[in-house]
A and B are shown apart, each in its own frame.
Chain A
């Protein structure tokens, strides 16, 4: 089954600024992989629920206690840019 992929749209969704050449390479590679992966569609699965946790565990709850969190300065020290206790990024909104 040939798979149609709008690779530029997918790259945009994934926030990956790829060149035209890279997009073209990935589109053909994804086509081959998805053709193989699409074999799952031939398996009869009526009445089966999807598995998320293999042992079927549900939410693990714990007491809602106040605990020390990571040291802010230590965390910010690993960031590419920070100021006044905040992460700094380029403008997200105009004006």
Chain B
């Protein structure tokens, strides 16, 4: 690999340390890649040319004085456009926030800046992170680098596509029902959702507060861990932040899976799963067994109902969280004779169809007479799923499944059928309901050359075990394919 834009964070860090490359060189490489791919892929909503250039120069200056700040100093990263960035437009890919420049940095962004990371820009998403294809963006869809006729998944589709295409070395996203892992799977990169509460959500524009968790998208399992470590840890500004110690997972990257008990989830297979996905999953499970893991099939009946519970709880929380967009303090305002008319017109004009649909759904589910039958019952189903998982994690150390029932689907294939789109999250939602960590690792390609993701799920705070197995999956898969678009771009470099 000749191009700096294709390096892992770890390798780029080595190049920086030896002086073979500077932060400015790395930034030049990803900006050049973006200039070749953005017209087709549209990974970014905003590229912060000036801010990134300044950050790279400062990083190089620190390094010249031996004051470098750690593994992300000088590394060009992308951020999903739902992280507040001081002075830099933060849109959530919504008209209602178009032009908004936050007066503060989210905690994750502040920690990344402290670590010297170079923030290249803000990536495209489904509006307010609601969606599974990045087609619900007010600024147009992102396309999959492996085949631009296909979606990159979502909602962190811009981040996943940027990492796959080389317009950032790694990225951050948010995962409410699979919004990191599903696009990672569809774009052939690693995507990790940590245990709920390990990464502060302060300054992440809220979607569904009891599910939202921030995590990395990267080119290797080790990179994903490096990014996670850089931002994890308690934050008094996020009341749901976990006050204990962040699990130490680094040593387990090298330990292999001998005698690790792995459960294959029965409910995440069968009808609706593409044969190539099932075959790749079963093949990886067999390889893990051959590497010394103890494999069994396990059943979690509540996984079959998880999607239904999710699509009551998440919209309910959406209807509350998105009440703040009312044309008063930020973003769009459409005028009206009264304050209520102004708010109702602003919201109707500013929100796209999916945000509107979920606000209506959640408002209905929370309204008088329906609260207990829908929202209350969904929250009790959630308890049942958590209890089932706790029992299963006494028998096995980790659970495995596909990360998505299908590979990347065509643009427009599901936009007219909201329920069909929701069903694409069936593999990822259970870990959000339970607040447990889960990761997707690319394990192969289907017959059309589209990536397949393999999911590893651990118990709450079980990051060490999760990374132990994920690293072995990565070694066994030896996934070193590249999107064709990059071969084409390479000719022009």
Q: Are A33 and B336 in touch, CB under 8 angstroms?
A: no
B325: nearest chain-A partner, CB-CB: A15
Q: Are B236 and A14 in touch, CB under 8 angstroms?
A: no
Tell me the A42-75 residues at the B interface (CB within 8 Å). 43, 45, 48-55, 57, 59-60, 62, 70-71, 74-75
Does chain B have a CB within 8 A of A95? no
Does chain A have a CB within 8 A of B356? yes
Does chain A have a CB within 8 A of B197? yes
Tell me the A62-95 residues at the B interface (CB within 8 Å). 62, 70-71, 74-75, 78-81, 87, 89-92
CA distance A11 to B348 in the complex (A): 10
Q: Are A70 and B381 in touch, CB under 8 angstroms?
A: no
Q: Are B339 and A90 in touch, CB under 8 angstroms?
A: yes
- Once A13-B367, A14-B359 are accepted as A-B contacts, the answer to whether A80 and B327 lie under 8 Å apart by CB is yes
- Once A18-B356, A91-B338 are accepted as A-B contacts, the answer to whether A33 and B419 lie under 8 Å apart by CB is yes
Interface membership of chain B positions 386-407, coded 1 if the CB is closer than 8 angstroms to chain A and 0 otherwise: 1100000000000000000000
Partner-contacting stretch, out of B21-29, B97-105, B106-114, B125-133: B97-105
Partner-contacting stretch, out of B61-69, B267-275, B281-289, B307-315: B307-315
Kindly list chain B residues whose C-beta atoms are within 8 Å of the C-beta of A51: 210, 379-380, 382-383, 386
Q: Are B329 and A36 in touch, CB under 8 angstroms?
A: no
Q: Are A49 and B311 in touch, CB under 8 angstroms?
A: no
Kindly list chain A residues whose C-beta atoms are within 8 Å of the C-beta of B243: 57, 60
CA distance A70 to B104 in the complex (A): 8
- Once A16-B360, A92-B339 are accepted as A-B contacts, the answer to whether A54 and B311 lie under 8 Å apart by CB is no
Kindly list chain B residues whose C-beta atoms are within 8 Å of the C-beta of A43: 302, 305, 377, 380-381, 384
Q: Are B241 and A60 in touch, CB under 8 angstroms?
A: yes
- Once A40-B378, A51-B383, A54-B210 are accepted as A-B contacts, the answer to whether A29 and B418 lie under 8 Å apart by CB is yes
Q: Are A11 and B435 in touch, CB under 8 angstroms?
A: no
CA distance A4 to B295 in the complex (A): 47
Tell me the B316-364 residues at the A interface (CB within 8 Å). 319, 323, 326-333, 335-345, 347-348, 351, 356-357, 359-361, 363-364
Chain B contact patch, size range: 35 or more
Q: Are A90 and B337 in touch, CB under 8 angstroms?
A: yes
**Which of A5, A10, A62 gathers most chain B CB within 10 Å?**
A10
- Smallest distance from the beta carbon of A1 to chain B beta carbons, Å? 10
- Smallest distance from the beta carbon of A23 to chain B beta carbons, Å? 9
CA distance A34 to B356 in the complex (A): 15
- Once A40-B305, A57-B242, A60-B239 are accepted as A-B contacts, the answer to whether A78 and B330 lie under 8 Å apart by CB is yes
Tell me the A7-21 residues at the B interface (CB within 8 Å). 7, 10-18
Q: Are B348 and A16 in touch, CB under 8 angstroms?
A: yes
CA distance A40 to B418 in the complex (A): 19
CA distance A11 to B139 in the complex (A): 25
Q: Are B360 and A55 in touch, CB under 8 angstroms?
A: no
Q: Are B239 and A45 in touch, CB under 8 angstroms?
A: no
Query: Across the A-B interface, how many residue pairs have beta carbons closer than 8 Å?
Result: 184
Kindly list chain B residues whose C-beta atoms are within 8 Å of the C-beta of A33: 311, 357, 361, 418-419, 422
CA distance A69 to B236 in the complex (A): 15
Q: Are B308 and A29 in touch, CB under 8 angstroms?
A: no
- Once A14-B360, A78-B103 are accepted as A-B contacts, the answer to whether A55 and B460 lie under 8 Å apart by CB is yes
CA distance A32 to B357 in the complex (A): 12
CA distance A18 to B379 in the complex (A): 30
- Smallest distance from the beta carbon of A74 to chain B beta carbons, Å? 4
Q: Are A90 and B381 in touch, CB under 8 angstroms?
A: no
- Once A14-B360, A33-B422, A54-B210 are accepted as A-B contacts, the answer to whether A49 and B383 lie under 8 Å apart by CB is yes
Which A-B residue pairs are the 5 nearest by beta carbons? A54-B435, A50-B379, A80-B333, A17-B344, A45-B380
Name 25 A/B residue pairs within 8 A (Cβ), A-sorted: A16-B351, A17-B341, A17-B347, A18-B356, A26-B356, A32-B419, A33-B311, A33-B361, A33-B419, A34-B361, A36-B311, A37-B374, A41-B373, A43-B377, A49-B383, A54-B433, A55-B197, A60-B241, A70-B103, A70-B104, A87-B329, A89-B328, A89-B339, A90-B336, A91-B339
B residues with a Cβ closer than 8 A to A are: 100-104, 195-197, 210, 236, 239-243, 302, 305, 307-309, 311-312, 319, 323, 326-333, 335-345, 347-348, 351, 356-357, 359-361, 363-365, 367, 373-374, 376-384, 386-387, 418-419, 422, 433-436, 460
List 17 additional contacts besides A33-B361, A37-B374; criterion CB under 8 Å. Answer: A5-B364, A14-B319, A15-B323, A22-B356, A33-B357, A36-B308, A40-B377, A48-B380, A55-B197, A55-B435, A60-B240, A62-B236, A75-B103, A80-B327, A80-B328, A80-B331, A80-B332
